[in-house]
Amino acid sequence: MNTYSPRLARLIEALRKLPGVGPKSAQRMAFHLLDRDRRAAEQLGLALNEALSGIGRCPSCRMFCEDAACRYCSPARRAAGQLCVVETPADLMAIDAATSYRGRYFVLMGRLSPLDGVGPEELGLAALQALLDDGSVQEMIVATNPTVEGEATAYYLAEMGKAAGIKVSRIAHGVPMGGELEYVDGGTLAHALSGRTPV
């Protein structure tokens, strides 16, 4: 319905590809960049080019990596003997920022989901197997999401770990801190009760 001029249309179309951005937001962003913040637009263009050319994947942990040596695969982290398996880079960042965990990570970049065509190969589980087999890992912490697919993935990973003779643990699921029992959903409450720990 709206007839944008060609360059404006292409900019709005490109902004719409960002997650969570619809046609209205994309138009707002484009007008904001063109009208009020051309410097920000320039910087965004530069940052995108720089990121695309410079950010790759660490072959070992599959996290984004832009240096020769991945910061999450440093010898110090290797020495910890722990490997935390997460679904996404955002999960890795969240755990690294909020916890004192300083071992290594392995980023699946997804979860097992046969219906969507995501199998062990897509998750790079061969690379994980190689990590488990090289003798540097004593404990594998499975930190996939507590969804159906995340749980299935966790089960698969646990089997892999056990086959390699490695201790496997799963992050705890239960009532979130600050949550009120009254308002917590039944599934979480059932998990919290069955996963109770001695005090």
User: Are residues 62 and 114 in contact, defined by beta-carbon separation less than 8 angstroms?
Assistant: no
Candidates 68, 69, 76, 97; binder of a copy of itself (CB under 8 A) is 97
For a copy of itself, which is the closer residue by CB, 24 or 196? Answer: 24
In the list 59, 60, 61, 64, the residue contacting a copy of itself (rule: CB under 8 A) is: 64
**Among 14, 130, 148, 163, interactor with a copy of itself by CB under 8 A:** 14
11 lies in the binding site for a copy of itself (CB under 8 A): yes
Rg of the chain, C-alpha, whole Å: 21
Beta bridge partners of 65: 56
Does position 90 interact with a copy of itself (CB under 8 A)? The reply is yes
Does 50 bind a copy of itself (CB under 8 A)? Our answer is: yes
| Pair 104, 123: CB distance under 8 Å | no
**The binder of a copy of itself chosen from 22, 23, 37, 179 (CB under 8 A):** 37
Q: Is 121 in the site for a copy of itself (CB under 8 A)?
A: no
Q: 26 or 128, CB closer to a copy of itself?
A: 26
| 25 in contact with a copy of itself (CB under 8 A) | yes
**Residue 22 found at the interface with a copy of itself (CB under 8 A):** no
User: CA-CA distances (angstroms) from residue 189 to 59, 112, 172, 198?
Assistant: 39, 26, 12, 17
The answer to whether residues 78 and 134 touch, using CB atoms and an 8 Å cutoff, is no
Quick check: helix, strand or coil at residue 8? helix
Contact 119, 112 (CB under 8 A): yes
DSSP summary character for residue 87: S
**Whole-angstrom distance, CA of residue 4 vs CA of residue 46:** 25
Which parts of 99-118 interact with a copy of itself (CB under 8 A)? 109
3-class secondary structure, 169: strand
Q: Does 182 bind a copy of itself (CB under 8 A)?
A: no
Task: Note the residues at the interface with a copy of itself (CB under 8 A).
Answer: 1-8, 10-11, 13-15, 17-20, 25, 27-35, 37-38, 40-52, 54-55, 64-67, 71, 88-90, 93, 96-97, 109
